[in-house]
Structure 1
Amino acid sequence: MTESPLRTVRVTRYVTPLREGGSLPAIVEADDGFLYVLKFRGAGQGVKALIAELIAGEIARTLGLRVPEIVFCELDPILSRTEPDEEIQDLLKFSAGLNLALHYLSGAITFDAVVNTVDARMASEIVWLDSLVMNVDRTARNTNMLIWHQELWLIDHGASLYFHHSWQNWEQQHQRPFPFIKDHVLLPSASELEAVNADFRTRLSSERIRAIVSLIPDDWLTGESPFTSPLEQRQAYIQFLEARLASSEFFVKEAQHARNALI
């Protein structure tokens, strides 16, 4: 691996849990003085959710979409000694080492499709991104978008690339339908998918895909999998993303058909 362009910070203070879903992310303070939303390697989905967050988030940034800064975050389990909640104590202990965090957008409000509007171009860009990485978690019930300083920011991509939890038939995953796109909160507004597809296929190069995948730490790639080395597992992520990008017309048409059924 080459030297990572992502910063690494160290947790100095556990501030408060964000009790959303089952992963118990938390607001923490780091040694650079900033607050972050920390995603724990010891949570239910383990490092796979962190890998998905890293890959999808950095692809989104490459495509010009707004994502809070992603950093690696070192966690010392000694912090668990001052935490009265036993569940959080265990989470801190099991998450010792390198985790992932996103810069905390203080004062941001959750995107609400009833109140907030997104133009056709941006809606199409976000639908395209989520189709590429198979993100199942951008629905009206859980939009995973924030409004901060009157701009739209994307968060929480840990449910992307869901096939990597088992790696079953992973070589064919790029060709699999993505039926969950019908539930995407922005799909009704995504009328410019073909134009976005032409643009994004030039922006997201194979070189950039490889650079993003190279960011994954080796010790996140040592769990149960059909691969014999971190290098081999990284190559599988690259192969999936390159193949899915090359066949993007397939998932664009799928999204268009789902949209036509809604409007």
Structure 2
Amino acid sequence: MLNEVTATRYVTPLREGGSLPGIVEADDLGTYVMKFTGAGQGRKTLVAEVICGELARRLGLRVPELVTIQLDPVIGLGEPDQEVQELLKASGGLNLGMDYLPGSIGFDPLAYEVDPAEAGRVVWFDALINNVDRSWRNPNMLVWHGDLWLIDHGATIIWHHNWPAAESAAAKPYNASDHVLASFGPDVAAAAAELAPRVTEELLTEVAAEIPAEWLVDEPGFESADALRRAHVGVLLARAATIHERITLGAPTEDKPSRAPGWLKERLAPLPRPAGQDETHDKDGDQ
């Protein structure tokens, strides 16, 4: 299970997007970016963060260490921002923390080079989890000590917001045309050959076991937390086998509206389209 710590000090909110995560200090002397059960999509966002973060780590991708954080709402009594106070009051109990990477900076595709192999692994992984939130508008990647780190996976595995239709989600394609790494010639075929065989039922079951049971209770149609964990495993296992065949890399959109679901649009902070980004991409599946 994920390590559990207790928040000792709320430092400051991070106002990117709509979920209002915050930086907190904990009793293990660590500093974390904390995501709250009382924000936005609530615990489902945290479930997605755990599944994707822990799966990425096991596949060799860099993600900040995850912990669960016990929060006593009294910690926010001195917070002057009413919105933050309400969020803390609504989030008592177990929340999620990501290791704070001091000195990291946001990834800029004009300032950093990414080799096709690494780009391919990230694009393949994002296709697997159906990440609609790693575009040139909102990269959700950091550069820390010269390495690329993946963050913010709350807007993934969106089928868990509509379980009756989840079975069909495994067959859905992934349009990577607007992916922030699309211009680096991602070698998706090589990534699939390397990573897909590693996404086994055993591995996914291990990942799903990291989700705290209290974030999985009272889900309509499921009699237990373990049943819901198995549902997550089933969709990802089916998707992993062939998703590389359904990844498309076409010309990126201009300043058109995001293709993210409506409930996500308010938390996607658009960025200007990178000047000089390659307008043409190979549309075959063998990048």
TM-score of the superposition, structure 2-length normalised? 0.85
> Shift in Å at residue 257 of structure 1?
6.1
Partner of 1:159: 155
> Shift in Å at residue 224 of structure 1?
4.3
Identity value in percent: 48
After TM superposition, which residue ranges in structure 1, 4 or more long, deviate above 4 angstroms? 256-259
More helix by share: 1
Report 1:103-122 matches (<5 A): 103-122=99-118
Q: In 2, distance between residues paired with 1:19 and 1:174?
A: 33
> Shift in Å at residue 228 of structure 1?
2.5
Partner of 1:9: 5
Partner of 2:120: 124
What's the secondary structure of 1:147's corresponding residue?
A: strand
Q: In 2, distance between residues paired with 1:224 and 1:235?
A: 13
Taking structure 1 as reference, are residues 127 and 66 closer, same or farther at Cα in structure 2, changes over 3 Å only? same
> Shift in Å at residue 21 of structure 1?
0.6
Deviations 1:5-50 (A, max 9, x none): x211110000000001110000000001111000111101101110
- Quick check: 2:36–2:42 contact (8 Å CA) kept in 1? yes
RMSD across aligned positions (CA): 1.7
Letter in 2 for 1:40: F
- Quick check: 2:71–2:94 contact (8 Å CA) kept in 1? yes
Report 1:58-77 matches (<5 A): 58-77=54-73
Taking structure 1 as reference, are residues 106 and 249 closer, same or farther at Cα in structure 2, changes over 3 Å only? closer
Q: In 1, distance between residues paired with 2:192 and 2:104?
A: 30
Partner of 2:196: 201
What's the secondary structure of 1:127's corresponding residue?
A: helix
Structure 2: gaps (5+ residues): 252-280
Report 1:1-263 matches (<5 A): 4=1, 6-179=2-175, 181-251=176-246, 254-256=247-249, 259-261=281-283
Number of aligned residue pairs: give it. Answer: 256
Q: In 2, distance between residues paired with 1:123 and 1:189?
A: 7
What's the secondary structure of 1:20's corresponding residue?
A: coil
- Quick check: 1:127–1:190 contact (8 Å CA) kept in 2? no
TM-score of the superposition, structure 1-length normalised? 0.92
Q: In 1, distance between residues paired with 2:138 and 2:229?
A: 30
Structure 1: gaps (5+ residues): none
